[in-house]
Structure 1
Amino acid sequence: MTDITKPARKPARPYFSSGPCAKPPGYSPEKLATQSLGRSHRAKIGKARLAYCIELMREVLGLPDTHRIGIVPGSDTGAFEMAMWSMLGARGVTTLAWESFGEGWVTDAVKQLKLEPTVMRADYGQLPDLDKVDWSDDVLFTWNGTTSGVRVPDAEWIPETREGLSFADATSAVFAYDIDWTKIDVATFSWQKVLGGEGGHGVLILGPRAVERLESYTPSWPLPKVFRLTKGGKLSEGVFKGETINTPSMLAVEDAIFALEWARGLGGLDALKARSAANAHALDKIVAERDWLGHLATDSGTRSRTSVCLTVEGADADFIKKMAKLLEDEGAAYDVAGYRDAPAGLRIWCGATVETQDIVDLGPWLDWAYASAKSA
């Protein structure tokens, strides 16, 4: 390998993984509240902390009182599958897929639930034609495709008078974009994305139309215990007040509370959006200044501001692995290789827990890694 001069300055926090993502600035485990640790989640203190976490999520998201928030098992995947298994089958289903997680919901609908959905696909970096979605169906989509760097532009394509329910996998979108909650019947996310929280827990948000579906429809297939949201034909309201279906990690709950209090202290959702936008802008500038870098999502209007996916001229999967390893070995950037099912490239998390200066400092290191990998 030719000796190529390394940049003098490294990102102070080289955490660019797209999940679990960077912790909030200033985080340390010693700063977590500990009064709920070692206690039952059903004890007064456990219930109070879970309810407080839900209250903080509502406050920071600006979620209206019409929508319920529940902490559920299985991260975003568990939350979304809980919604699918509990509510689908009452009418036709349309699934939108433009990246790997959307394809996962297609697989669930087709192979597991045997629903014969209408499937609308687009290649990585693109969106299907949203104007052609049939809203007499229930519609499943990812708001922000973590593995493709493509997002829906807004909620304007979702009609207020829809017949079906809207199911939004919003795990890389909440706390980063404005979401019109009047257009969302079901939304799911995990703390491990934009909040930089821990994995294993999902969040399920239900609008009134979703609650109506749950209380008026019983699926034909059996539901495992962790998917059951009703009892005696009525919504299990306790789930949305901190009475979780199974035992949560109170350590993970306290971790999420830390991140939410940090977000509230910054100024809430507007501040989080601004931080993410500044990070994405800094990365856009890096890309624009290099002819060997590009955006997988070519349309800036539907390009993610959180999980930004980049193309690298002439790179295959092995080349990207070399670049990522070089950066990791130097402590300059961790976990920047693109998702395994996506086209070969880099993926840089630009969510609010990342500092903009660290994105700026990453640019010269990308140059170094690219040149080093080419000369190897």
Structure 2
Amino acid sequence: MARLSIRTADLHASPVREMLSVSQRPGMISFAGGLPSPDSFAGLELPPPPGELLQYGPTEGEPELRAKIAEQLAGLGIDSAPDRVLILSGSQQGIDLVGKLVVDAGSGVAVESPAYLAALQVFRFFGARFEILDRANPGAGWAQAAPALAYVTPTFQNPTGGCWSADERRALAQACDAHDVILFEDDPYRDLVYEPCERRPVCAQVKTASWVYQGSFSKTVAPGLRLGFLTASEDIFPLLVRLKQAADLHTNRLSQWMVLQYLNDPDRDARMARIAALYRGKRDVFAQALERHLGGLATWSTPPGGLFFWVTLNGAVSPEALLKRALERGVLFTPGSHFLAQGGACQALRLNFSLAAPEAAERGLAILGELLREEAGG
């Protein structure tokens, strides 16, 4: 084989992307990926796009779209301006850019446990040394050896669906300021809110530390457009732009134009309310089915937002072994071990409730319940 970089030793396939391939099998009931419901996709009647969008565009993104996003960020209390908004080819690109900017072999990266597995995949590839972030005391141990980066999804966290309190958010901002740790806040689910919950960005409370805040339109417009955005503190934003230039020159201009039409739509707020109502209903139906089929076999909390239930199995059942048997019955889910930065066993499953139709979710959870009862009886 040709001589490759030493980083490829940590180049592994994404478990979720591989599972998405499995989910395409006819009849498969998938709780595995974070796929939005097709019923939520934006259905705007759009005019023909301007012809100039077929030409190369600016790396940072279309000026009108950047201005609109900056306006919304200001409403969240985030110190940003149109010239500090970078349009991304999906928020996964933002994770890659920050990894390239910050992480060397052995760099400390503080993450939640569990944490978003695709972010773990990127940081691990660049050689990160993970440490687990304690939400109750986020700066614990940082006086002796502070990490280079703290990566968090505090609002409707992936995979747990949990939401950080105001005190926890404030404590993390203060810890990053005190120890000069770069804060990377990933916030793709903030608009999918079903119950009252603290959602003020942590980045809005940082005073001196460097920071990156990013969001996505995959969950609120359509994932096929592959459009996200980030903003960052003044010191590191120009460096992220240069890394973007080296990656793909600029993001798809037609997708940017389509998202701008959505953001300018007078019906946008009403549409978001309809999407929240759609998902709240799907969540509640899923919770009822969980109780019917997994009651007494597992524990969980109903998430106040986002797309996932984090279900912890009772006893010593292996989620990986359960997955193997479930696949034979046409049911797919993600074992919780994939979300652990430091590895090890995990008794939890991440179950997505947004994609499957109610009758399919009922059938799939019934199968999981049957398999778990067989395990308990055996």
TM bucket by the smaller chain?
0.5 to 0.7
TM-score (norm 2): 0.59
Q: Structure 2 counterpart of 1:103, which letter?
A: L
SS where residue 170 of structure 2 aligns? Answer: coil
Q: Give unmatched runs, 5+ long, in structure 1.
A: 1-13, 122-127, 230-243, 329-334
Structure 2 residues without counterparts, runs of 5 or longer: 1-28, 194-198, 340-345
Change in Cα spacing, 1:80 to 1:283, as seen in structure 2 (3 Å) is same
Cα contact 1:294–1:310 (8 A) shared by 2: yes
- Confirm or deny that 1:284 pairs with 2:287: yes
Counterpart CA distance in 1 for 2:266 and 2:370 is: 38
Structure 1 contact 71–202 (Cα < 8 Å) conserved: yes
The alignment-based identity, stated in percent, is 8
Cα pair 1:54 1:70 within 8 Å, conserved:
yes
Count of matched residue pairs: 308
Aligned pairs for 1:1-376 (under 5 A) are: 18-25=33-40, 27=42, 31=45, 33-36=47-50, 39-42=53-56, 50-58=62-70, 62-64=75-77, 66-67=79-80, 68-73=84-89, 75-86=90-101, 94-99=109-114, 100-101=117-118, 103-104=120-121, 107=124, 111=127, 119-120=131-132, 128-133=134-139, 137=146, 139-143=149-153, 144-154=156-166, 155-160=169-174, 162-163=177-178, 164-176=180-192, 178-180=199-201, 181-183=203-205, 185-193=211-219, 195-198=221-224, 200-206=226-232, 210-213=233-236, 225-227=242-244, 246-254=249-257, 256-257=259-260, 260=263, 265-267=268-270, 276-277=279-280, 279-290=282-293, 291=295, 294-295=298-299, 298=300, 305-311=306-312, 314=317, 316-317=319-320, 319-320=322-323, 323=326, 326=329, 336-338=333-335, 341-342=338-339, 343=346, 347-350=350-353, 361-370=359-368
- Report the Cα offset of residue 211 of structure 1: 1.0
For 2:16, the equivalent position in structure 1 comes to: none
* Preserved contact between residue 198 and residue 256 of structure 1 (Cα < 8 Å): no
1:266-298 deviations in Å (ceiling 9; x for gaps): 448777666655544443333334426635xx5
Q: Please give the per-residue CA displacement for 1:309-363, whole angstroms capped at 9, x wherever unaligned.
A: 33466464354355467557xxxxxx65457825576544356xx7xxx775455
Q: Matched residue of 1:198: which SS?
A: helix
Cα RMSD, aligned residues only: 4.8
The structural deviation recorded for 1:305 is: 3.6
Aligned-partner Cα distance in 1 for 2:347–2:47: 41
Partner AA of 2:86 in structure 1: G
**Does the aligned pair in 1 maintain the 2:191–2:220 contact within 8 Å?**
yes
Indicate if the aligned counterparts of 2:40 and 2:221 stay in contact, CA closer than 8 A.
no
Is this contact kept in 1: 2:231–2:237, CA < 8 A? Answer: no
Q: Is the alpha carbon distance of 1:265 and 1:150 closer, same or farther for their aligned partners in structure 2, counting shifts above 3 Å?
A: closer
Counterpart AA for 1:176? L
- 1:106-158 Cα shifts (integer Å, max 9, x gaps): 5256x26xxxx67226xxxxxx3441425775541221543455554452332
C-alpha deviation, 1:78, in angstroms: 2.3
| Alpha-carbon shift at residue 196 of structure 1 (Å) | 3.6
State whether residues 152 and 184 of structure 2, in contact with CA within 8 Å, keep that contact through their aligned partners in structure 1.
yes
Work out whether residues 190 and 199 of structure 1, in 8 Å CA contact, stay in contact via their aligned partners in 2. Answer: no
2-side partners of 1:176 and 1:274: how far apart? 9
Distance, in Å, in 1 between the alignment partners of 2:280 and 2:137 is: 27
CA contact (8 A) 1:86 1:227 kept: no
Whole-angstrom distance in 1 between the partners of 2:192 and 2:312? 23
The one-letter code of the counterpart of 1:306 is L
> Alignment partner of 2:120: what SS?
helix
For residues 53 and 270 of structure 2, the distance between their equivalents in structure 1, rounded to whole angstroms, comes to: 32
The structure with higher relative contact order (CA 8 Å, sep 6+) is 1
TM-score (norm 1): 0.59
SS class of match (1:131): coil
Q: Deviations over 1:7-40 (max 9, x none)?
A: xxxxxxx886634433453656x94554147833
Cα deviation, residue 87, structure 1: 5.5
Alpha carbons of structure 1 residues 228 and 20: separation in structure 2 relative to 1, 3 Å: same
CA distance in 1 between partners of 2:86 and 2:132 (Å): 29
CA spacing shift, 1:278–1:50, aligned 2, 3 Å: farther
